[in-house]
């Protein structure tokens, strides 16, 4: 294994996104024609793994998946994007999580309606099948199974205690209403928090969020907060807060997956030795490029762009 590149494993959700592009956001109880409609693969961890692969990383997704018709669509799309799926857990007789996404062509905003459709979340027992020696970084998306995620992170920490080549870990906190998410605050090396998550806890901007959250986390942990059009901030308790502006666009085309792209860009930077400031700057810029185009196709052409940090 020593001659092979180690992978970044993303643990969380994969789902089917039903994308509806409209000229303007619909008024309730009216009908209108869509500009475009399509299926695409979604889910935070699934999308982050895809962007990591596009950036040249060895990327893998792990999560539960349906055994119904949608399984073929999702697995083929992961394969097409060179995302490894050897640890995906196929659940018999379960439905497929879906998200109906309304994209407003006028503003680029996205409105998302989610359904889990009976598919169970990953368990710690599922995670025990993972060969940790294959990975340099494991990124977890917070789901309703936070106590199980804590066990997974503890498993990685215990593994790290016995090896020299330690796995770096990160956790994404997007939805502030996940039950028991506080049990994960001190379990990872990097914590990503969304604007919505920070605002739920009373923070008015990204700088206040990272500075405030460092007080409830261990000193070794870095806090990273993306704030949409204002960019992102990061901080470790032992260092100054660093920030990066968002990429300025003449017109926002599609913000769906922008946060996942930001995380992927930042992980890519950090895992290749960039400083926290440089890594979040890379994340902001590649996320901005994504907002200027429909979907993700084309990001792979930007990884070596002179415009990126």
Which CATH number covers residue 150? 3.40.1190.20
Facing residues of 38 across strands?
19
Which of left, alpha, beta for 108 (phi over 0: left; psi -120 to 50: alpha)? left
pLDDT digits (tens, 9 = 90+) for 33-56: 999 999 999 999 999 999 999 999
The answer on pLDDT for 303 being more than 80 is: no
SS3 154: helix
Q: How many domains does the chain divide into?
A: 1
- Confirm if 137 and 157 have CB atoms less than 8 A apart: no
pLDDT digits (tens, 9 = 90+) for 169-218: 999 999 999 989 999 999 999 999 999 999 999 999 999 999 999 988 88
The answer on pLDDT for 306 being more than 50 is: no
The answer to which of 41-50, 80-89, 250-259 has the lowest mean pLDDT is 250-259
Instruction: For residue 279, give its domain range.
Output: 7-14+44-96+118-301
Nearest to 189 by CA among 163, 157, 215, 164: 157
pLDDT value, residue 2: 46
pLDDT value, residue 251: 87
Within 8 A by CB and 6+ apart from 179, the residues are 144, 146
Average pLDDT, the chain: 93
pLDDT band at 302 (very low <50, low <70, confident <90, very high): low
- Confirm if 92 and 67 have CB atoms less than 8 A apart: yes
Report yes or no on 102 lying in a domain: no
H-run or E-run covering 269: helix 258-271
Report yes or no on 296 lying in a domain: yes
pLDDT value, residue 1: 40
Percent of the chain at pLDDT > 90 equals: 83
Report yes or no on 21 lying in a domain: no
- Confirm if 224 and 233 have CB atoms less than 8 A apart: yes
- Confirm if 11 and 152 have CB atoms less than 8 A apart: yes
> Cβ atoms within 10 A of the Cβ of 160, count?
16
Report yes or no on 30 lying in a domain: no
- Confirm if 10 and 141 have CB atoms less than 8 A apart: yes
pLDDT value, residue 3: 52
Facing residues of 110 across strands?
103
User: Torsion angle of alpha carbons 64, 180, 161, 266, nearest 10°?
Assistant: 70
Report yes or no on 230 lying in a domain: yes
């Amino acid at each position: 294994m020593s001659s092979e590149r180690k992978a970044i494993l993303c643990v969380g959700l994969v789902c089917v996104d039903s994308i509806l592009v409209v000229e303007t956001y619909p008024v309730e109880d009216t009908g209108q024609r869509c500009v475009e409609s399509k299926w695409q693969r979604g889910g935070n961890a699934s999308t982050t793994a895809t962007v990591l692969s596009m950036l040249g990383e060895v990327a893998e997704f792990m999560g539960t998946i349906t055994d119904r018709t949608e399984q073929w669509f999702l697995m083929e799309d992961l394969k097409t994007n060179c995302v490894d799926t050897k640890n995906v857990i196929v659940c018999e007789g379960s439905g497929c999580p879906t998200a109906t996404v309304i994209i407003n062509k006028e503003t680029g905003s996205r409105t998302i309606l989610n359904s889990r459709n009976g598919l169970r979340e990953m368990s710690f027992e599922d995670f025990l099948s993972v060969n940790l020696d294959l990975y340099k970084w494991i990124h977890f998306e917070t789901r309703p199974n936070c106590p199980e995620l804590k066990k997974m992170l503890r498993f990685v920490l215990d593994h790290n205690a016995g090896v020299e080549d330690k796995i770096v870990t990160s956790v994404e906190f997007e939805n502030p209403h996940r039950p028991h998410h506080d049990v994960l605050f001190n379990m990872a090396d990097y914590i990503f928090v969304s604007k919505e998550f920070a605002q739920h806890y009373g923070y008015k901007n990204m700088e206040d969020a990272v500075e405030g959250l460092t007080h409830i986390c261990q000193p070794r942990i870095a806090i990273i907060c993306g704030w949409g059009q204002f960019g992102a901030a990061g901080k470790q308790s032992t260092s100054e807060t660093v920030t990066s502006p968002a990429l300025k666009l003449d017109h926002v085309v599609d913000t769906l997956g922008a946060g996942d792209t930001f995380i992927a860009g930042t992980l890519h930077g950090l895992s290749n030795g960039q400083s926290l400031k440089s890594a979040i700057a890379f994340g902001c810029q590649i996320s901005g490029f994504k907002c200027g185009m429909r979907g993700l196709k084309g990001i792979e052409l930007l990884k070596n762009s002179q415009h990126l940090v």
